[in-house]
Amino acid sequence: MDNTLTTAADYTPFSIRAPVDPRLPNGGGYVVSGLFDSNKPGQLLELAQHSDNFGKQIENWQGVDVNVSARLRNGITVRGGTSTGRKFEDACALKAALPEQGANANGSNTGLQGDSLVNPYCRVLETYKTKFSGLVSYTIPKVGVQLSGTWRINPGTSLAANYIVSNTVIAQGPQPLGRPLSEANTVTVNLIEPQTVFSPRRHSYDMRVGKILRFGRTRTQVGVDIFNLTNNDEITTYSQTFNPATQSYLNAQGITPARYARFNVQFDF
């Protein structure tokens, strides 16, 4: 997305220094560079073009999936699998030609990783992520009761530290802007490179007990599903707004629902 009313020279680069804080990588205090501000605010005429007109853009995924299924003696069925892979994105050539990439008229971001004037992370290489899942089922002879259990182990999510940066902080940075921001008094900068800091892995264990009843030509299946069997309270959503003056960063905003059971009846005729 090219703003045809501007060139790369119409965007002034600047950098900031992350606050010293133990919650940031290596205790903070590092420089976040590659930030830009427009010298021509309000001048916008966008044209969507092929990326090859400006530079090379790369996006790929590499990994492997393995799945196994087996029927053992005594009515035991086992299925399981694992998936390992990582994604690689590089749009730095585009960022050099179009610093505005992704910052469109309504303020939303459409470029790589939400690329915009204050997102310097044009190259993102994920670490290898591995997830596991499986199922075991067993039918108790004579009584015809089926027991089954499933489990999932998922990698943690990539964490951010969205820091609201004022003109004062920018003026004190290693590469100051030399003037106030052109369109606002603050900008929000993610202080953590994507795919470098992760939340803990999440675990899920569920169970089902079912019984099939037959009456003439009818078939009734009665069952109970138990979700979050271990009743864990793992955090699923974190506060990712960083403020060095408060302790709210990385506070829990959502946790795994508590263990619960669901009864169900299916009647076929």
* Domain count across the chain: 1
Q: Is residue 129 part of a domain?
A: yes
The pLDDT value given to residue 205: 96
Compute the distance between CA of residue 145 and CA of residue 268 in angstroms, rounded to an integer: 18
Q: Is the dihedral of CA 30, 36, 191, 183 positive or negative?
A: positive
Q: Tell me the sheet residues that pair with 68.
A: 80
The pLDDT value given to residue 125: 92
Phi, psi of 139 (to 5 degrees): -105, 120
| CA-based R_g, the chain, Å | 26
Q: Is residue 56 part of a domain?
A: no
Q: Is residue 124 part of a domain?
A: yes
Q: Residue 95 has which token pair?
A: 């960022």
**Contact (CB, 8 A) for 158 and 151:** no
Compute the distance between CA of residue 33 and CA of residue 197 in angstroms, rounded to an integer: 19
Residue-by-residue pLDDT tens, the chain, 269 positions: 788 888 999 999 999 999 999 999 999 999 999 999 999 888 888 888 888 898 888 899 999 999 999 998 888 999 999 999 999 999 888 888 988 875 433 333 443 333 478 988 989 999 999 999 999 999 888 888 999 999 999 999 999 999 999 999 999 999 999 999 988 899 999 999 999 999 999 999 999 999 988 888 888 889 999 999 999 999 999 999 999 999 999 999 999 999 999 999 998 88
Q: Is residue 59 part of a domain?
A: no
Q: Is residue 53 part of a domain?
A: no
Q: Is the pTM of this model over 0.85?
A: no
* Domain that residue 187 falls in: 2-47+64-268
